[in-house]
Each structure stands twice: as C-alpha cells, then as structure tokens.
A and B are shown apart, each in its own frame.
Chain A
Amino acid sequence: MLAGSLRRRLVAGMALLAGLFLLMALIAIASLRSFRDTVAGELEAVGEGAVLASSLMSGASAQLRTAEAYLVSPSPELSREFFRVGDNLHTVRRQFRQIAGLGPGDQTVLNRLASEQARLEVSYATAHALRDLGRTEEAVAEAARARAVVDSLVSNVQSLNRRQQTGLHARTTTVSEQARQREVVLWMLFGLAIAMGASVAVLMVRAIEAPLQELIAAARRFGEGDLRPIRVASMPVELDALAQAMGAMGGRLRTVIDATVREARSISASAGDLSAMSEELAASSHEIVKAIAQVTAGAEQQVREVREGDALLGKLRDATAQDLTATERVAALGEATRTLASRHGTDLSTAGEAVAALREDIRLATGHTRALVRQVEAVGRVIDAAQQIASQSEVLALNAAVEAARGGSAGGGGFGAVADQTRRLTEQSRSAATQVSEVLQGFDTRLQEVLGNLQSAAVRVAEADATTRRSALALEEIGRLVDAMRDIAARVARSAEDSRRVSTRSSELRTHLEHIAQENVMAGEAVTAAATEQSEATDDIATSAARLLEASERLTALVAGFRT
C-alpha cells in the first residue's frame, strides 16, 4: 500500500517531483524551442522583408529610370527592360505577401503598392505608346501622371518598412510576452514543485515523527528497565518493522533477565553451597593435617618395626641354615631307603613273575581239565544217544515182532529174525553204554576233584600274587615316600635358600623402607604444609564464595529492578 511504506511515500513524492521538474524542463525546452523558432522566423522574416523592401525600392527606381529612358530614346530593348523590371517588381511584391507575420495592414499597404505600381506601369506604357506614335506632348503628360504616383509608391514602400519595423517590435513584444508567460508558468510549476516537495516533506515528517515519538518513549521505557511489551499505533512499514524489532528485543531482554534472575539465584545458592563446602574442606584439611601427622608417626614406627623385623630375619636366616643341613641328611637317608626298597622291589618282581607263571600253569591246567570235563560230557551225550538208539532199536524190534506175528510163518519169519537181532543189539548197546557211563562218571568225579584242587591252588596263587603285589606296592610307596622326602628336602633346601635370599632382600628392603619411611616423614611434613596452604586457600575460597554470594545477591537485586 502506498501509504504504508516510507520508501514508497518517498519514491512517490520523488517521482512526483521528478515528474514536475521533467514537465518544467519540457515546458522550458518547448518554450526555448518556440522562442528560438519564433526568433529565427522573425529574423528570417525581417531579413527577407528588408531584402524585399530593398528590392521593391530598387526595382521601382530601375523601372522609373527605364521608363524615363524610353521616353528620351525609345528602343525595343528599353521596352522589354521596362516590363521585365516591372514583372520582377510584382514578383517581389507577391513574395512580400508571403512573409510570415504580415498583418492585414501590411497586406493593405501591399495592395496600395500593387495598385500604384500597376498604375505607374500603365501610365508609362501609355506614354511609351504615345511616344511611339510621336504624340510627345501627350506622352509627357502621361509620364507626369506616372511620376505623381512615384512619390506615393515610395511613400508606401517606406510605410511598408516602417510597418515591418513596427510589426517586428510588436512581434518582439509578443514573443517577450510569450516568454514571460512561459516564465510565469515555469515559476508556477516551480512553486508547485516546491509546494509539493514541502508537502511531501511535511507529510513524511508527520508520518515519521509520531511513530518515532512512540518508539522513543518505548526505548526510554526500556532504558528505565520497564521491559513490558510495547504497544504502538499503526505506522509506516519501516517504523513498524523497527517497533517489531524493539518488541522482539524487549522480549529477548525479558527472557535474558528472567534467565539472569534464575542464574543469580542459582549462583547465590551455589555460593552458599560453596561457602559451606569450603568450610567443610577447611575442616577436612585440618583432619588431613592430623592424619598426615599420624602417618608420619606411623612411618617412624614402621622404621622401628622394620628394624625389629630385620633382627628377626637374621635369626630366621640362621635357622634356615640349620634346616638346610638337616634336610641334606634327610635326603641322604631317603636315598639309602630308596636303594633298599628298590632292591626288595626287584625280588618281589621276580616272585611276582613266578607266581604269574604258576597262575598261568594253573589256568592252563584248569582249561585242560574243563576240556576233559566237556569231553566226558560229550561222551555222556554219545552214551545217551546210544541209549536212545537202543530204545529206538527196542521199539523197532518190537514192531518187527508184531509184524512177524502178523505175517505168520510165510512172511513173518524175516521180521521175527530182525526183531531178534535188533533186540540183541539193543541190549548190547545198552549194556556197553551203561559200562561207559559208569567209567565216565568215575572219571568225571576225579576230574571234578582235580578241578577243585586247581581252583584252590588258583585261589592261593591269587592270594600270593596279591601279597606280592601289595609288597611291591608298599615298596613303590616307600620309593615315592622317599622321593617325596627328597622333594621335601629339596623344597626345604630351596626354601631355606629362598629364606636366605629373602632375608638378604629383606635387609635391602629394610634399608629401602627406612629410606622410604624417611621420605614419608618428609612427605608428611610437606603434605602437612600443603594441607596448611590448602586450609588457607579454602579460607580464601570461603571468602570468595561469600563475595560471590554478595555479588549474586546484588545481581538479583539489580535484575529485580526490571519489570518484565
């Protein structure tokens, strides 16, 4: 919107002024050009008028001379010259009529000139004709009438000149008047431009001043600490933007102040905390000093105790040397025991091997015996089978007897023989089987006894083998115990050596511990001094915390002066 922007108002005002000045310039240029054209036209007209007036005068004189000359001495040449000059004179007069700016009065004078020239020419031409006819007196009289016109003609030419000058003056006056009017118009336009410029300036000032006062008041209010939002009336865009910027600034200041208040309060609280902490720190510093003193005393006590430990270590070193000697003796005894156990172990091993061979023999005898048992059993099964066969043979003999009975004597004779044979065989087989079975039973009984004896021997061999094994195991255990004793002795020896080295190292450590203890004492003194300094610094911190507290309280009080 045009009224809403100072820039647009200024642009519009400047454009209007520029337009006015452009209009002024155009009018001035047009005036100058018109004036230039007018002056040029007038000068041209004046110049042309002067030339033509001169031509009129000179032409009239020439025509008069020619006319008079013809009267004195007529000739065709003079006659032609008379009309030629006259024609030129008329042409000049017509040209005179075309001069710009001639008024009706000038035209009337020209009309009189034309009439007089025409009359003059007619009179002279008539005189010439009369002269040609030899009627001299009439010719002279006619020429006299012509000369009477000359004065009037010259007078009219002069009058024309005067009119030209008068007309020039009048036109000059007109041009001057036009120039004056243009000047007035220009001045009016200039005044209008000034007035419009002033109006624009006043309007601009008014458009700026009131809103600006509001903004100044708002700025002052801000300066006095009243940061409440500003409320302004409608104003130009630029100032409105400024007002909005101030409002935004106020808003941000309010935010900052609020944050500052919060931070000041927080600082105040922190300062209080810091003060308390500094006091606590001072107290703890004192405690540290005390503890350090105790540490120093402890260190001295430690030195003393280390020295005592060193004495004990000396004693331990001596005991260790004695242990080492005893250990060497134990090792020697162990070695002898080991040798003996080894020798008995070899014997036991030989006995074990014999027992093992006996056990193998028993096992083989047992195996053979069992194989004999199984063979006896197999023979028993054969005897059983023979008895089975004997049974079946008996059945067969019975059947053959039946068939022999059925067949009678014709046919049953064969069956009866078979049945008899078979029955005998069966009885023989059964008898043999019974004998064999009885032998086998006696053999099996003996075998069972042998087997029982073998098993008893095996049990005793197993017992002897177990005893041998336990003896071997006992020897091995003795060996391991001897090895263990030797290891123990070696470890005791190494321990004694270690104890000796430890004792030596302990002595070195004791020296080092003494040095450290001395240093600890010195460090404790330094720490005590530092703790003292820390205590003093803590006091300073407490003082600063108190000052910070005071500053935060003052800042809080200061910020509290703002109205948000």
Chain B
Amino acid sequence: MRSAVGLVLLASLLVGCRAPGGGIRVALVGSFETAEGAAAQRAARMAVTEINAGGGIRGRPLVLVERDDRNNLDSAVAVAADLAGGNVIAVVGHTASALTAAVTAVYRTGREPMALLVPVTTPPDLTRADHVFRMVPSDSAQGATLAGWARGAPDFARAAILYQNDTYGRGVRQAFEARFTTLGGEVVSLGPWIEPAVDAYLDRIVARGDVDVLVLAGTGPEVSQVLERVRTRGLTLPVLGPDGLVGVERLGPMAQGVHLAMAYHPGAPLPANQAFVLGYTEGSPDVDPPSQVAASVYDAFHLLRTVISDGGASRRGVLGALGRIGTVQPPFQGVTGIVSFTAQGDLARFPLLIGAVEDGAIRLVERR
C-alpha cells in the first residue's frame, strides 16, 4: 500500500511539474490586411523581439501567436473560440472596435478565462467582463472630449453626425451627442452608415443650412470615403472625428482642417515613445509612423512581460497581476503614457489629444 501511495505521489509530482524552458504563448489578433492591423502586427513583433532579446520572461521566451480575424465578425468569433480553447495565456486584440466588442465574451469560455488587452477604442460597457483590460480610452471618452472641444473655442452650436453604424461609431456618436447637448449644443442630424452611402444625409444637411459642424465617427477606409463624399458634395463644414479618422490625412487637401481626438500621437515627447517610434520605423522608410493601435499593442506586450513576471505564466496569474497594476503594483510606464487600471479594467488616467490635419499630416492642437 505504501508503495502505491508513493507511486501516486510521484505521479502527482510529475504531473504537477511542468518542464521548464517552454515558450510563453501570447496571441495578437487583428485584421492584418488593414493598416491598423498591419501596424499592430509590426508593433507586436517589435515588442516580442525586444522582450526575448532581454532574456524573455523569467528565462522563458515569449512566443507571439498571430491570428487574423479578417476584419469579419464570424471569423473573429471563430478565432477567439480557437484561442480560448488553446494554450495561449493572454490575447492582445482585436484591431477593430466592432470585432472586439463582439468577441470579448468568447475569451471567457475556455478552460479558464483569458485576459484580453484591447488596443482600440471600444464601448464603455465592454469592460463589464472582468477579463477585459482597455489599453486606450473608451468611445465615450473620445466622444465626450470631442464634444467638449467643439463647444469650446470653436463654439459650434449645431452639429450633424455621420457615423459608422457599428459599435465604435455608435459609441462615439452617443458620447458626443450626450456631452454636446449637455454643453448647450444641438445635434440636428444623424446619419448612420454601413457603406459610405451618405448622400441623402448630406443633402439634408445642405437643405437645413444650419449645421455648424459635421462629426464623422468611423474608422478605416470607409470614413475616408465618407469624408471624400462630403467634400465632393461641396460641403465645407468643419469636420470633427475620433481617432478612427487617423489616416484621412492621406486624402490630402480634402482632409485639410479636419480635427480629431486621439489618445496617442507619435510626436509625443516621451523618451520611451521616441525610442519606440524610432525603432518602429527604423530600416523601413516607407512605413508610416506608429498609430495609436500600434503604440497600444506595443505597450500591451511589454505590460504582459511585467504581469507574467509578477503573476506567473498562466491565464489566472496574468488576470490577477493585471488587476493589481496601479493598485497593489505600480503603474506601467508605456509609450502611450502611464497605464493603470480601474476595478472595471478601464484606464485609470489617460490624456486625450486634439489634432488637426494640416498638409497631409496630423498636428497636435491641444492636450486635454
């Protein structure tokens, strides 16, 4: 009997011990065909390379698992389900707000809940789940900031909002509308879109003739197409938008004067940010400066190195350690600024920037 007990104990020990030296698998999920996805991928590889060059985490290398959601809800759900059942211990993604909002619950369905570090703007209620940590301000924060700026010096009184009818666009629209109305403004026209077919809305804005400012809430090439339609239609209204408008500066003169709210600007004078930007573009002169998504992804991987060192290379350990950042553990100093989390997984403090497109580039106008 004693020998049997000994065998059981030995087997328990063998099972309980994990062979050292294996890599720590962390996933990046995004739409790598899009500009944001590609930027996130580049930033993630850069961060993982730096981490492994520094000896990995507790002597173990960090293994980057890249999964493309093809900017599609169903594909994103499938990828999330696959990762939830796999052996990665944390996920950074997705690179589209709508996809992220659609799959957060999936990462909770595996053998253990898995931390999801979100590098893009998402609805406030996204962090209702305790496994989601937002690396950027929420939609409502950007929308509210934008409304506050609009009701400030420009003193826009009546606004029309054309928004991408997805989680992101609706979130910005709702936050802007609520804050703008509170500050005395009036939203006189709302125009959701899925495809950039906004002529009817533009005709109505023109017909009203009392709109002071046009807010475009969307991301990707679609929002650029909408802006292009606006300018083509001959509307010269001031155009505002969230960080989803990053990229419209490539439209050239049509984007001239567009103001946008954002959480990151590559020109931020932080030394870490400067080093990041330099490393991000080094050797690739054609590569655009890192976007907010790229910077957040970069910060997310370095943050994971910290929390895995603290809580261990497990899903539960990462979740626990992330919850201690900014409370029990000191805040994380990243290229986007100081990262610390509230109990709901939101950034405890964050700067929001107002930029303006000038001559094909985004110039910092105000820091709020």
Contact = CB atoms under 8 A, between A and B. Distances in A.
B74 A90 contact: no
Contacts of B109: 101-103
A130 interface: yes
A98 B201 CA distance: 34
A98 B128 contact: yes
Nearest to B203: A133
Contacts of B102: 97, 107, 110-111, 114
B192 A111 contact: no
A467 to B, nearest CB: 145
A114 B73 contact: yes
A27 interface: no
A108 B77 contact: yes
Contacts of B106: 102, 104, 107
Given A103-B109, A107-B106, A129 B165 contact: no
Contacts of A388: none
B224 to A, nearest CB: 18
Interface range on chain B (Cβ under 8 Å from partner): 35 or more
A540 interface: no
Given A98-B105, A111-B74, A125-B192, A118 B166 contact: yes
Contacts of B167: 90, 94
A125 to B, nearest CB: 5
B366 interface: no
A65 B39 CA distance: 44
Interface string A118-136: 1101100110011011010
Interface string B90-105: 0000000000011111
Contacts of A107: 73, 77, 102-103, 105-106
B207 A121 contact: no
A273 interface: no
A95 B174 CA distance: 17
A91 interface: yes
A79 interface: yes
Contact of B194 (A91, A119, A132): A119
Interface range on chain A (Cβ under 8 Å from partner): 20 to 34
B38 interface: no
A176 interface: no
Contacts of A83: 190
A132 B166 CA distance: 24
A94 B203 contact: no
A87 B126 CA distance: 15
A13 B172 CA distance: 69
Contacts of B74: 108, 111
B244 interface: no
A129 B194 contact: no
B193 interface: yes
Main DSSP-derived SS at the B contact region = helix
A129 B207 CA distance: 11
Contacts of A138: 200
Contacts of B203: 129, 133
A91 B125 CA distance: 9
A118 B165 contact: yes
A78 interface: no
B338 interface: no
Contact of B129 (A91, A98, A115, A121): A98
A99 interface: yes
B123 interface: yes
Contact of B73 (A115, A125, A129, A133): A115
Interface string A303-319: 00000000000000000
B191 interface: yes
A119 B102 CA distance: 17
Max chain A C-beta neighbours (<10 A), residue from B80, B102, B174: B102
B77 A121 contact: no
A101 B167 CA distance: 22
Interface string B299-333: 00000000000000000000000000000000000
A126 B200 contact: yes
B125 A97 contact: no
Nearest to B102: A111
Max chain A C-beta neighbours (<10 A), residue from B102, B190, B194, B200: B200
A178 to B, nearest CB: 14
B165 A121 contact: yes
Contacts of A122: 165, 192-194
Nearest to B195: A122
A229 to B, nearest CB: 36
A90 B169 CA distance: 12
Contacts of A98: 104-105, 128-129
Contacts of B128: 98
Nearest to A104: B81
B72 to A, nearest CB: 9
A126 B197 contact: yes
B265 interface: no
B105 A129 contact: no
Interface in A59-102: 79, 83, 87, 90-91, 94-95, 97-102
Nearest to A95: B125
Interface in B155-206: 165-167, 170, 174, 190-194, 197, 200-201, 203-204
B73 to A, nearest CB: 4
A104 B190 contact: no
Contacts of A121: 165, 192
B204 A132 contact: yes
B78 interface: yes
Interface in A460-487: none
Contact of A129 (B108, B166, B204): B204
Contacts of B78: 104
Interface string A517-553: 0000000000000000000000000000000000000
A314 to B, nearest CB: 124
Interface string A406-438: 000000000000000000000000000000000
Interface of A: 79, 83, 87, 90-91, 94-95, 97-104, 107-108, 110-111, 114-115, 118-119, 121-122, 125-126, 129-130, 132-133, 135, 138
Given A98-B128, A114-B73, A125-B191, 20 more contacts: A94-B126, A104-B77, A107-B106, A108-B73, A108-B77, A110-B102, A111-B74, A111-B77, A118-B165, A118-B194, A122-B192, A125-B192, A125-B201, A126-B197, A129-B204, A130-B200, A132-B204, A133-B200, A133-B203, A133-B207
11 contacts: A90-B170, A91-B125, A94-B125, A97-B102, A100-B108, A101-B109, A111-B77, A122-B165, A122-B194, A129-B204, A133-B200
